[in-house]
Amino acid sequence: MSANVADPSETATQQQRLYADRWSSYGSNTGILQLSDKLSARDLKAYDLFKAYDDKLLDKLTPDISVAKWKAGAVLFEEGSYLDVAFYIVEGTVNLYLQKHQEPASQPIFDTLRLPYVESGDGASAGVPDKTAFVAPYEAKEKPDVQAKPKDSQAAYLATADFNLLHGEEHRLGPGDIFGEIGALNGWPQSVTARTDSECTLVQIRLPALQQLKLRSSDFKNWVDAIYRERTLSEQLKTTPLFHGADERFIEELTQRVGLVSCSPDEQVTVEETPADAFYLVRSGFLRLSQKVGDGEIAVTYLRKGMTLGEVELLVDGIDTWQFSVTAVGFTELVRIARSDFEDLIGRFPAIQGRLWAAAVARIKESGYTRQNLGQPELIEFALDKGLVQGNSILVIDLDVCTRCDDCVRGCASTHGGRPRFVREGDRYDNFLIARSCYHCEDPVCLIGCPTGAIRRANVGEVVEVADDLCIGCGNCANKCPYDAIVMHDTGEVWPDTALPEWLRGKDQKVASKCDLCYTSDAGPACVNNCPHSCAFRINSIEEFQQLQSVDRAQR
């Protein structure tokens, strides 16, 4: 055989090895009795879920689909965990329940008052970011007033719930049921714990395959959307500050009438100057809002999960067309309320109209500011492209002041046992360096698929941490982080012969390392506090970055 021609058997072996590696995070879970080899399109069509799809599509999806047999009593996932996989039950039953008491959520999913607009038009009133003012995003932030449930209510207040269970209540699923897909598609933590009641055969579908199934099949999309309406949407709309004051019956009716829109990357949602016919709430993902300027188009702002679109067009007299062209940035999920339902809503509940006017005024101010400051669109594009819009704490360094002394890195290392948690390099915007330090993202994909739960929310604001005693150094989180903010460090030790899972035995022991915002220290992040030139800042949003730029320009 020619050296330039691949051996089919070797190719097949390599494909199987890659497939096994893709699902290796399950190797440490003793609940799995058997995991399938890479499936063919014909194999998948043996399951009702895939019978309607053509072989060509299924062949593309098969790396992200497995079939596993789980033993009885195995925990599939716990509430609060982030998953990029959904489970479809072929055989057996799965029990869903709340493992621990849930406190009322402090932030609902949809909040029309969360708008990224600039308060001060010229930036003059924005003070210099204090060295400690921006370094503790994990401290309590002011939240919108959220209507509390009655004290005697037993319902768990779960704005992100896949299942709205009472505490102590259980929900049993059987063959033909799917679960986990709402959290996976929307980047939300799972709201319940799932445990097998009996020995179960489950089809496991990762997010890339879920997205393609939803986009390529109206039947699958309608099925998943119907589940979302039944299990989740009503409760989310009831807890939306915008809808406070609307009676439950109206919200229940609205839940059945709204449209659920799934967008592919770069898909257009609205076109500027065409008739405006709906109000949108963003379930997940990002939207880019652009306006025409001369012969071109500029990005005016962006919307993220929880924000809304359409207040201006549906409220202001004389404006009947879209003021923006809106496109999806990545896969995006929207809730669409038709103009007729919107007008019915504000007609019956005047208080809601007042809240919408506040949001509309904010959007108009933001648009005007951007058109007067043409550097703003460039920043918005940069923030969307580099993922800064995800961040709750971003380390930026003023390179015009920085002497490259590396005291920020040494301060970080000395605070973390000699191991620095960030790298002083990264993307540059104007004279600022965006360091390779964890952004503590709103939707942290690094949490997905950790086999031991070592990387997790620290239950202190938005802080994401790695527990060294749980980390097995598999590299899953580092590979998933889009911003290269997680580094794998050698510990200088080797895993013993008793290590679990067994594949670790004899291998070099590594540990994932990332910024934890020094949340256990009263002094705050050492990277900022140890900078001798006060040129390192922690910013919580793009708006704070704008303020930082404005002050920097004023001082030049």
| Predicted confidence (pLDDT) at residue 148 exceeds the cutoff of 60 | no
| Predicted confidence (pLDDT) at residue 184 exceeds the cutoff of 80 | yes
Angle at alpha carbon of residue 523, lines to 518 and 528, rounded to 5°: 70
pLDDT confidence of residue 391 = 87
CA distances to 62, 65, 214, 264 from 208, in Å? 10, 10, 10, 12
Instruction: Tell me what the pLDDT averaged over the chain comes to.
Output: 79
Q: E strand or H helix at 383, and its extent?
A: helix 375-386
Tokens 């849930």, residue? Answer: 102
Give the global pTM.
0.71
Task: Flag the least confident range among 26-30, 64-68, 200-204, 479-483.
Answer: 26-30
What's at 59, amino acid-wise?
Answer: D
Predicted confidence band of residue 131 (pLDDT cuts 50, 70, 90): very low
pLDDT confidence of residue 547 = 83
What is the full DSSP assignment across 408-452?
HHHHHHHHTTT--SSEEEEEEETTEEEEES----SS-GGGTT-SS
Region of residue 172 (phi > 0: left; psi between -120 and 50: alpha; otherwise: beta): beta
Would you mind telling me the total number of residues written for the chain in this entry? 556
What is the full DSSP assignment across 133-181?
TTS-TTS-------PPPPTT--B---TT-SS-PBTT-EEEE-TT-EESH
CA distances to 123, 142, 431 from 401, in Å? 21, 33, 9
- Percentage of the chain beyond pLDDT 90 is 31
pLDDT confidence of residue 17 = 57
pLDDT confidence of residue 163 = 61
- If you average pLDDT over residues 230-242, what whole number do you get? 82
User: Euclidean distance between the first and final Cα of the chain, in Å?
Assistant: 69
Which tops the pLDDT comparison, 15 or 545?
545
pLDDT confidence of residue 258 = 94
pLDDT confidence of residue 110 = 62
The Cα–Cα gap between 181 and 87 comes to 7
Predicted confidence band of residue 310 (pLDDT cuts 50, 70, 90): very high
Most confident of 108-117, 154-163, 452-461, 467-476: 467-476
Name the CA radius of gyration of the chain, rounded. 25
DSSP label of 46: T
DSSP label of 323: S
Structure confidence by residue, pLDDT tens digits, 94-105: 999 887 644 434
Task: Flag the least confident range among 23-27, 94-98, 219-223, 432-436.
Answer: 23-27
The Cα–Cα gap between 185 and 192 comes to 16
| Predicted confidence (pLDDT) at residue 249 exceeds the cutoff of 80 | yes
Asked if 152 and 39 count as a contact pair (C-beta separation under 8 A), the reply is no
| Predicted confidence (pLDDT) at residue 88 exceeds the cutoff of 70 | yes
